[in-house]
Structures are given as structure tokens and as C-alpha cells.
Structure 1
Amino acid sequence: MFGGEWRLAARFRSWPISAYLLVLALATSIPITACAGFLAYHFVAESSQSRKVEYEDRLRLMRNATELRVANIIEDLQILALSPLLAAGRFDEFRSHAVDTVKLIGGVAIALYEPDGQQLVNTRLDPGTPLPKRTAFDAERRAIETGRPQVSGLQQAVVDGQPIVTIAVPVRIAGQIRYALNVGLSPRYLSTLMDDYVSGGLVGSIIDQQGILLARRPLLDGDDLIGQPTIPAVRSHVGQVSAWWIKAISRSGVATYTSLLRSDQSGWTVNLALPREAIDGPLHRFLAEFSDLERYVSGLQNGVVSPTIGRIAEVNRMKQVLHLVGGELASALRQQRDLLDEINHRVKNTLGTVQSIARLSRSSASDVDHYVAAFEGRILALSEAYNLLTENNWVGADVRAIVERTLAPYAGPDRLTISGPSLLLPPKLTLALSATIQELSTNAAKYGAFSTPSGKLEIAWTGQESGIVRLIWIERDGPLVRKPTRRGFGTKMITRMFGAETGWSVNLDFDPDGLRCTMQFGVEADDEKDVRLTG
């Protein structure tokens, strides 16, 4: 060994534990930061954007549904206004038709007004009852003056003072406008227009031209809020054509994003709010978890402390591994370099695997909920495989232990037939086989043998002196199997993983009687290669 190299080696041997831990921190921080950025970008860019688009679509659909209902009511009133009974002055007979119409609409009452506000017909009052004269009837007056349908803000019914809105149309007789015909609608009626669009923590409201609440979903303290001004953050935008993603605080104290659209037809404003947590939460949680991991790694140079447990299982696993290795480094100096290289290799390998799972899960997911469920399931399966390896000091894991532990959540022993010799697989094959069994089990639970009570599964494997292992997965007594029209995550992962190494192979046979999967691999495979789900 040359003098310079000898001095360098001596310097490394003389390093204190804190210096080695600092190397560990630097070696792991870069891939951790990269993975954090990757996951945060993809999760937020995909799930949060999908939630935003869904929210904006809901608001537009709610506004459109409100306008369509108002248009239908106007059409019903205009048809009723054509009744020849009005021209003949036969108001008692006309009243019976109006009663049928108000029932059809679902309104409070239909009334017929003269230009001075005198009622000629009111379906809420019995025939022969003296009818009141109204002074505050702006919508009806505008209908007479303009000859066009009009929609009011919140007002009080002339009979009992209950809060209503009215829709009025002009009545023409011999080409001249003689009367105004209106229907009163209750706030609860308006609230039902939002039922199909306000769910899952959302708050919807309809607001009149003056910023007064006409309707709300869900109801808060009954109907007490009806007739009150909407919250200031929304009221300042009433009258605008649209306003998006306004930061507000709800009446119950929840931080929200709220948006509104104005209806040109009625002049009302339709408003929809959702908790900011629904949009910002995923980003904050991911960044907080990975930032905490980085802080923990950086702090190892000052001594080994117990890590805090967060919400992401894989991050917790990396913390636990780092804590374990840090403790070993503190008590055994002879293997520091080897352990540092090994943990750095495994951390980078794990991060690469998590990145690939995130990317491929997103490409095969039909929506955000499907993506999150699939991603979490695969991360948990990866964590379970790491548990097996940790229990055996990362020497490897037995095929039977891998199969039984991975299948445990899906089926009991009465539905399983498992046979094969005891074979110890190295870490790389342990992770690969565990991921494969997880994907096959998930598929069986959704579409195959585990989706019906009668379904059964047989798994058998054989080992050869050459080191080649052949494992067969056979499903029986399940639903009829049809070959899929596209390749999902599971198919891509299994075929790529077992097609990447010399001597490895996989065959998926979509037999109508049950899926058959045949895998072949060598237990002598070099475990130093990264285990990645390339996509």
C-alpha cells in the first residue's frame, strides 16, 4: 500500500463514532430528499389537482342544476299563465288549476297579482277568503313592467310571514300585460337542489342579491341561519360573475377554500366550500414526515436517540433501521464501515422501490382513492417483507414464511393448500416474491378465488440442485376468469421483475377455471443489485 493510501486508511480508522454517523447522515439525506420531492410532487400534483377539478365541477353542476330548476318553474308558470280562464275572469276555476301546479312544482303557494299589488288568487287561502293587498312585491312589479320572468331575493310570505323567494311571470291578455303570476319557494326547497353535490365535508349555500342566505347544506342549527348575511369573505364577492379559491373561516371555525358562481338567470350566487386540509393536507403531511426523517438522520451525528413515530409506515421503518444500526455502531467499532455501506445501500434501494411503486400505482389507478389504497397496500407489503428479513438478521427468509405471512390477511388455512421444501431466499428474492404474492392476492380478492366463499388456492414449489426454484400459483372454484384487456400494475410488475434476471421467468395463464401463475428463479441471484420495479 502506498504511503498516502496508508495514511488515508489510518485516518478513517481513527474517526470517532460521531464522524461515521455524520457520513451516514450525508449518505442517506440526498436520496431521502429526492424521494420526498418525488412523492410530494406526484401525490400533490395528482391527488390534489384531481380534488380541485372535482370540486370546481361540483360547483358548476350545482349552479347549473339551480338554473335548470328555476327555468322549469318559469316554464310551468308561463303555461299556467296562458289559461283562458284568466281572460274570462273565472278566477275560482283558475285556482283549482293553480293548486295542481303548485303541487307539481313543490312550492308554498301560487298567487295572481294585479299591478297595484292586490291578490286575485292565493292557493294557500280557502276559496271565498278575503285576499290581501301587498305593497312589497318587487319581483311581481318588475315582471309586469318588463314583460320578463323575475326572481326575488328572500322575503316574507304575505299570509304567515314565513321566509320565501318568489318567481314571477307576466300574464298577457289580448296582447297586454294585465297580471303577474308567482310561486313561492321555501328555503328547504332550495336546499334540496344542492343534495347531489354537497357531501364529504363540503358546505354549499345559495345567496340572494343582497348577500342574504337563502339556503344551506348541511343545515347548521336548523334554519336559524336562513335570512342572515353570509360570511364576510363570501359577501364581499357577491355580485361577481365568479370567484375561486377564497380563503375563509366557516361559521364552525374550520379553515376553508370557498368559491362562488353567479346565476345570470336568478341573480343568486351559488357557493361551495371545502376544508383547506382536503387540498393542502397531503402536501403538509408528506413534507412534514420526510422533513422529520431528515432531521433525525442529521441528528444522528450528535448521538443515537429514539425516533418519533409518524403516519407513513415506510418512513417509520427507515427510522427504526437507522436507530438500530446507529445503536450497533455505538457498541461495535470493528464493523462500522461495512454497516454504513450496507445501510446506505438498503436505504437507497428502499427509496428506489418506493418511487417505482408510487409511479406505477398512479399509472394504473382509476381515481385518487384507488391510487391511495393501492399505494398503501403495496408499501405495507414491502414493510412486511422487511420485517421477515429483519427477524432473520437480513440473511434471507424461508419461502413458506413469505407465502403464509403475505396470504394471512386474505384467506385462512381451510382455503389454502401450501406445499414445498424449506428454502431460504436471499433478501432480493424475499422482496420480489413478497411483492408478487401481494399483487396476486389482491387480484384474487377483487376478481379471483378470494372474491367468493368457495374459492381456493394452491401454492407449491420445488427446488433443484442447480439452485432453480419453480413456484406455481393455482386458483380454483372462483368466478369465471377472463383475460384482461389491459395490463395493470400487478401484471407489469410481475413480468418485469421476473424478466429482468437471467434464468428468471414468469407465466400468467388466465385459465377460465382459475388463474395460474408459474414463476422460476435462482436462489443464487446476486443480492447486491437494486430491487426496483422499473417502469
Structure 2
Amino acid sequence: MGRRTGIWIRRSLRTWPVSNYLLLLALVTAIPVAACAAFLAYHFVAESSQLTRADYEDRLRLMRNAAELRVANIIEDLQILALSPSLSQQNYAEFREHAIQSVKLIGGTAIVLYAPDGQQIVNTRLELNAPLPKRVEFEFERRAIETGRPQVSGLQRAVVDGQPIVTIAVPVRIGGEIRYALNIGLSTKYLSSLMDDYVSARMVGSIIDANGILLARRPLMDGDDLVGRPTIPEVMAHIGQPSAWWIKAVSRTGVPTYTSLLRSNQTGWSINLAVPRDVIDGPLHRTAEGIIALTLFTIALGLALARLLSRRFLAEFADLERYVGGLRSGARAPKPGTISEVNRMKKVLYHVGSELAGALKQQKALLDEINHRVKNTLGTVQSIARLSRASSNDLNEYAAAFEGRLLALSQAYNLLTENNWVGVSLVSIVRQTLAPYAGPERLEIDGPDILLPPKLTLAISAALQELSTNAAKYGAFSVASGKLHLSWNVDETGLVRLSWTERGGPLVHKPTRRGFGTKMITGMFAGEAGWSVSLDFNPGGLRCLMQFWSRDQADHDVTLMEAS
């Protein structure tokens, strides 16, 4: 009992209805296409995101380098000014004029000359004879005098008006001895201008001193530039570090950001640049969501179309089956359906059934023949469906190819029906097959008129249809200048040699895989003794040579054979 049950289960798994095959085809077609599209889309978006990250990092480095270069130029200008002969001669009035010109050139607020005790000797913001104050906060200037090296301060307040500034101080040597400290004040707006070329829309740039106090910011916030206030906690935690990248933070306006900073060894400042996380992660997230939605939509659409097509096919085949079964009680006019090829089959069956209505013995024989032809026809349709599926990239291409090949099959049946299934002229087959593709000015047809039996009629019609379709897509019929030479001859034994030669079309390349047409033609001609076919993918045009017997051995329909 168990063994029989296992055999029944295995047989059930091997036999599926058309609907299941179409649903499986929809899944097998949709999933790889959606997966490939998803991979490519995600790859391109991820690459774009990487480029955005690289651009962001480059901007931060360039902004740090620009600030250091500007400070280096200012130090160099101050050092040149410190070499002025008027200082060694203590001609402070003349030196003050030189300093005023330097302030204008650099763009600072003032240049001040300090004595070692902090007393101002020259201040370009005050009149020549005005009393000069003594500076209490003198750390950076004193350090310049003591170390003999330039110094850059953090945020300070100007002695004259208390505005926030940073100062750059250099030592002044006279006779090899350091006598003074010469400094220049830079406004926070001056520092902000250093970021204008690097802080694009939606970004936030800032310069922060060693104590975590904002020296400059771009953009401003509602008129408040936040200068003099501590930076946000996420950035404050990394002040003093050489670098910190891709810190998750929240801006003062509540926007989630990625923020990074680089420390300048020359100034001690930290250069900070923040970008909204959505700019970096948003495209990837949106692409992933779109891919999921597109995949689900593609699969759902494919399944819906497969279900719709399967219902239509099954309904028509069921109606055809009922019609065939009803022929036992006498021929009756067929009821038209929605598939033209099935309608044509019904008409053929109707005419055959009408001829068999005279005698009970003749009717049974004819019904047996009809059943045989229907089975062969359905086998042909099934072979066309399988081969069309193998050579199609999507469901639409499959439906178009399947319908076109069924139409070609029905045209061959029409020729046989018109001749009562006695046979069809080879000239008629050639002209009817080629008529949709080219006019007489592009065709050269040469050969005797031969009557082909039904089996051979279907085979030659299918082969010429596939060759014509290929010529229309890729060969001589695809361009206005292309032409076709079709000729045949028959010897005394009844062996026919038919030659198909294209010329004037695009350059022919040998295909890398066998398509439907190649499989079908070679499969048919390999299945009969004495039949043969050869395909020559000549660069000047496709050549095909077919050889077959003009007299059939048995009067039955041809069944398309799949090539192994």
C-alpha cells in the first residue's frame, strides 16, 4: 500500500495543469529580472553614496587646508612687516603707516605692536597720539616673545571695543634680540568667509578653538552666529583629537547629521563639517524601499497575467475538448471562442465531422483520425509553448512569440483545409509565408510547383515562418536594401533540395546560443530519415539548405520535436 501511494504521489508531482506552469513561468521570469534590477540599482546608488561621502571628506580636508594656508600667509606678511627698518629706528609713526597698509591688504581688524609687559606701542585702530592701553590677557603674545615662534589664539575680546576676535602674533627681533610682539586681529566674519567655498546647501561648517568654543559658523542661524558659545556635545567630545569621522549628531535645528572634524596642528583649531544623514543614507533607504515595492509589484503582476492567460487557455481547451466529445452524436456548428487558432481547429473538426456523418463505421474511423490530429496539434502547441518560453526574456515577449507561432501554424492548417487535406503546392506555401515580410521586388523565387503532403506542408511552413521572422528581425528583411533568393529542385527519386539565401542585409554574426527557430528546424529535420538541414551564418547573409522527400510515408500531422 505504501509503495503504491509513493508511486501515485510521484506521478502527481510530474503532471501539472497549464495554470501551474504559467504561474511558475511568471515567478521564474519575474524574480531573476527583479533581482538583477535590484542589484544594479542598489549598486549604482551605493556607488553614488560613496562618491557623496568622498566629496564630503574632500571638502572638509580642503576647508582645513584653506584655513591653514590663509593663516600661514598672514604669518608670513606679519614677519615681513616685523623686518621694517622703522622699528629698529623706533620711528613708530612711519611703522604705523606701514601697518595700516598691511591691515588693509590682509583684511584684519587691527595690527598692534606690544612691549614684553603687554603695553601697546602701536595700534592701527587708534589715532597716532591717542593714549594706548595695556593688555591684561597677554598669553599668546608673551608666548611668541618667549618661544620666538608665531602663535595663534583662540577666541578673545578686542581691547578697544570688546568684539570677538582671534589673534596671530609673531616675535619682532632687533639686533638678534626679541624686543616686541606684533599681532593682528581677525574678526569671526573673516574666519567664516574661509568656509564659503566649501560649505554647500544643507551643510553646516564651523571653526572651533582648542576649548571647544565656536570661532565661526556657516550658515548663520536667524541672525545669531553662535560665536563664543560651546559647540554641540557630540563634537565637544572629540575636541583635541587629530580627526573624527562620521559622528552621529543632532544639529541645533534638530536635524540628524553626520559630523566630522579635523584638527589643525598649525592653529590648534578644529575644522568641523556636518551633513544631514538623509543626504548620505536617504538614497540607499529609498532605493531599498523602491526595490522591495517594485519586486512585489512585478511578481504580483506576473502572477495576475499568468492566471488570466491560464484561465483563457484552459477555458478554450475545455471548450475544444467538449466539442470533440460531442462529435460522436453528429457534426454541429462550432461556437466561436476567444482564441482564433482554437476556432480554426474547431472549423477543421467541423468539416471533418460533417464528411463522416454518413456511416457509423466511417464516422468512428474519422473520429479516431480527428482525435489523433487534435493530440498532435496540442502536442505542437505544447512544444511551441515550451520552446517559446525558453527563448523569451519576459512574459510579454513570451506571449507575443507564442501567439505569432500559433498564427503561423494556423495558416498552414488553413492551406490544408482549403485543399481537403490532400496536399498543398510548395509555391503557395512560399508566397503565403513571405507575403507579410517583403514584396516581389525583394524576392527571387525559382522552382517547380510541387504538391506536398500534409505532414511536409506543416514542416516546411513552420521552417519558412521561422526563417522569415529571423530575417525581419535581424536579416535581409530588417533593412530596405535586403533581398532573398529562394530556389528548389527535385530529382527523379522525389528528393527536394531547397536553398534560402539572404543578401544586402546587416552583417551576420554567428549566434552564441541556439534560439527557438534553430532548435525547431534542426529538430524537425533530424526526426525523419533522409531529411537534413544546414545553416550557414555567412557574414554577407544567412544561408539555409533543406533536403526532404516530396512523397510522404504516412498521412498524419507533423509534431515539432525539441532538439536535445
Measure, in 2, the Cα distance between the counterparts of 1:477 and 1:171.
Answer: 68
2:260 corresponds in structure 1 to 169
Query: Measured at CA, do residues 436 and 326 of structure 1 come closer, stay the same or move farther in structure 2, by a change above 3 Å?
Result: closer
Measure, in 1, the Cα distance between the counterparts of 2:396 and 2:404.
Answer: 12
1:100 corresponds in structure 2 to 197
Measure, in 1, the Cα distance between the counterparts of 2:522 and 2:386.
Answer: 17
1:121 partnered with 2:217: yes
Query: Given that residues 497 and 548 in structure 2 are in contact (C-alpha distance below 8 angstroms), is that contact kept between their aligned partners in structure 1?
Result: yes
Measure, in 1, the Cα distance between the counterparts of 2:502 and 2:531.
Answer: 22
The correspondence for 1:497, drawn from 503, 511, 524, is 524
Query: Measured at CA, do residues 281 and 298 of structure 1 come closer, stay the same or move farther in structure 2, by a change above 3 Å?
Result: same
Measure, in 2, the Cα distance between the counterparts of 1:116 and 1:379.
Answer: 79
Measure, in 1, the Cα distance between the counterparts of 2:463 and 2:413.
Answer: 15
The correspondence for 2:309, drawn from 269, 273, 286, is 286
* Partner SS state of residue 383, structure 2: helix
Query: Measured at CA, do residues 320 and 508 of structure 1 come closer, stay the same or move farther in structure 2, by a change above 3 Å?
Result: closer
2:206 corresponds in structure 1 to 112
2:559 corresponds in structure 1 to 531
* Partner SS state of residue 369, structure 2: helix
Question: What pairs with 1:340-419 in structure 2 (closer than 5 Å)?
Answer: 340-364=367-391, 374-419=401-446
Measure, in 1, the Cα distance between the counterparts of 2:46 and 2:377.
Answer: 49
Structure 1 residue runs of 5 or longer lacking an equivalent are: 1-29, 159-163, 195-203, 208-215, 218-243, 245-256, 260-271
Q: Aligned partner of 2:434: which letter?
A: L
* Partner SS state of residue 100, structure 1: coil
Structure possessing the higher radius of gyration over alpha carbons: 2
Identical positions, percent: 37
Question: What pairs with 1:4-153 in structure 2 (closer than 5 Å)?
Answer: 36=18, 39-40=21-22, 43-58=25-40, 60-61=42-43, 64-65=46-47, 67-80=49-62, 82-83=64-65, 85=67, 95=192, 98-102=195-199, 107-112=201-206, 120-122=216-218, 130-133=223-226, 142-145=234-237, 147-150=244-247
The correspondence for 2:357, drawn from 330, 333, 343, is 333
Query: Given that residues 458 and 558 in structure 2 are in contact (C-alpha distance below 8 angstroms), is that contact kept between their aligned partners in structure 1?
Result: no
Q: Aligned partner of 2:46: which letter?
A: N
* Partner SS state of residue 523, structure 2: helix
Measure, in 1, the Cα distance between the counterparts of 2:557 and 2:219.
Answer: 83
Query: Given that residues 505 and 541 in structure 2 are in contact (C-alpha distance below 8 angstroms), is that contact kept between their aligned partners in structure 1?
Result: yes
Query: Measured at CA, do residues 118 and 504 of structure 1 come closer, stay the same or move farther in structure 2, by a change above 3 Å?
Result: same
Query: Given that residues 356 and 532 in structure 1 are in contact (C-alpha distance below 8 angstroms), is that contact kept between their aligned partners in structure 2?
Result: yes
Q: What is the Cα-based RMSD across aligned positions, in Å?
A: 4.6
Query: Measured at CA, do residues 386 and 327 of structure 1 come closer, stay the same or move farther in structure 2, by a change above 3 Å?
Result: closer
Measure, in 2, the Cα distance between the counterparts of 1:338 and 1:117.
Answer: 104
Query: Measured at CA, do residues 58 and 184 of structure 1 come closer, stay the same or move farther in structure 2, by a change above 3 Å?
Result: same
Query: Measured at CA, do residues 298 and 384 of structure 1 come closer, stay the same or move farther in structure 2, by a change above 3 Å?
Result: closer
1:239 corresponds in structure 2 to none
Query: Given that residues 99 and 110 in structure 1 are in contact (C-alpha distance below 8 angstroms), is that contact kept between their aligned partners in structure 2?
Result: no
Q: Aligned partner of 2:498: which letter?
A: L
* Partner SS state of residue 524, structure 1: coil
Measure, in 2, the Cα distance between the counterparts of 1:176 and 1:304.
Answer: 99
The correspondence for 1:205, drawn from 269, 283, 286, is 286
Alignment TM-score, normalising by the size of structure 2: 0.59
Shift of 1:141: 5.1
* Partner SS state of residue 198, structure 2: helix
Which range is displaced more, 76-85 or 360-369? 360-369
Question: What pairs with 1:270-309 in structure 2 (closer than 5 Å)?
Answer: 274-297=297-320, 299-300=322-323, 306-309=335-338
Shift of 1:417: 1.3
Measure, in 2, the Cα distance between the counterparts of 1:100 and 1:37.
Answer: 64
Structure 2 residue runs of 5 or longer lacking an equivalent are: 1-11, 72-151, 153-165, 167-185, 239-243, 327-331
Query: Measured at CA, do residues 405 and 467 of structure 1 come closer, stay the same or move farther in structure 2, by a change above 3 Å?
Result: same
Shift of 1:381: 2.5
The C-alpha deviation readout for 1:117-140, integer Å capped at 9, x for no partner, is 979332589xxx944459xx99x7
Query: Measured at CA, do residues 452 and 389 of structure 1 come closer, stay the same or move farther in structure 2, by a change above 3 Å?
Result: same
1:182 partnered with 2:206: no
Shift of 1:415: 0.8
Measure, in 1, the Cα distance between the counterparts of 2:337 and 2:560.
Answer: 28
Query: Given that residues 172 and 179 in structure 1 are in contact (C-alpha distance below 8 angstroms), is that contact kept between their aligned partners in structure 2?
Result: yes
The C-alpha deviation readout for 1:76-104, integer Å capped at 9, x for no partner, is 3442453362786676566556443356x
Query: Measured at CA, do residues 330 and 423 of structure 1 come closer, stay the same or move farther in structure 2, by a change above 3 Å?
Result: closer
Query: Given that residues 307 and 323 in structure 1 are in contact (C-alpha distance below 8 angstroms), is that contact kept between their aligned partners in structure 2?
Result: no
Measure, in 2, the Cα distance between the counterparts of 1:152 and 1:331.
Answer: 89
Q: Aligned partner of 1:306: which letter?
A: K
Query: Measured at CA, do residues 185 and 394 of structure 1 come closer, stay the same or move farther in structure 2, by a change above 3 Å?
Result: farther
Measure, in 2, the Cα distance between the counterparts of 1:419 and 1:57.
Answer: 54
* Partner SS state of residue 503, structure 1: coil
Shift of 1:457: 0.7
Query: Measured at CA, do residues 331 and 150 of structure 1 come closer, stay the same or move farther in structure 2, by a change above 3 Å?
Result: farther
Query: Measured at CA, do residues 176 and 119 of structure 1 come closer, stay the same or move farther in structure 2, by a change above 3 Å?
Result: closer
Query: Given that residues 296 and 307 in structure 1 are in contact (C-alpha distance below 8 angstroms), is that contact kept between their aligned partners in structure 2?
Result: no
Query: Measured at CA, do residues 477 and 298 of structure 1 come closer, stay the same or move farther in structure 2, by a change above 3 Å?
Result: closer
Measure, in 2, the Cα distance between the counterparts of 1:417 and 1:290.
Answer: 40
Query: Given that residues 74 and 167 in structure 1 are in contact (C-alpha distance below 8 angstroms), is that contact kept between their aligned partners in structure 2?
Result: no
Measure, in 2, the Cα distance between the counterparts of 1:124 and 1:459.
Answer: 81
1:258 partnered with 2:352: no
The C-alpha deviation readout for 1:12-38, integer Å capped at 9, x for no partner, is xxxxxxxxxxxxxxxxxx9xx867268
Measure, in 1, the Cα distance between the counterparts of 2:307 and 2:252.
Answer: 47
Measure, in 2, the Cα distance between the counterparts of 1:119 and 1:370.
Answer: 65
Measure, in 2, the Cα distance between the counterparts of 1:362 and 1:398.
Answer: 32
Measure, in 2, the Cα distance between the counterparts of 1:157 and 1:397.
Answer: 85
Query: Given that residues 35 and 351 in structure 1 are in contact (C-alpha distance below 8 angstroms), is that contact kept between their aligned partners in structure 2?
Result: no
Query: Given that residues 257 and 276 in structure 2 are in contact (C-alpha distance below 8 angstroms), is that contact kept between their aligned partners in structure 1?
Result: yes
Measure, in 2, the Cα distance between the counterparts of 1:407 and 1:94.
Answer: 80
Q: Aligned partner of 2:274: which letter?
A: N
The C-alpha deviation readout for 1:337-376, integer Å capped at 9, x for no partner, is 3443233223322232233334444555577776665445
Shift of 1:431: 1.8
Measure, in 1, the Cα distance between the counterparts of 2:215 and 2:320.
Answer: 80
Query: Measured at CA, do residues 422 and 323 of structure 1 come closer, stay the same or move farther in structure 2, by a change above 3 Å?
Result: closer
Alignment TM-score, normalising by the size of structure 1: 0.62
Query: Given that residues 38 and 355 in structure 1 are in contact (C-alpha distance below 8 angstroms), is that contact kept between their aligned partners in structure 2?
Result: no
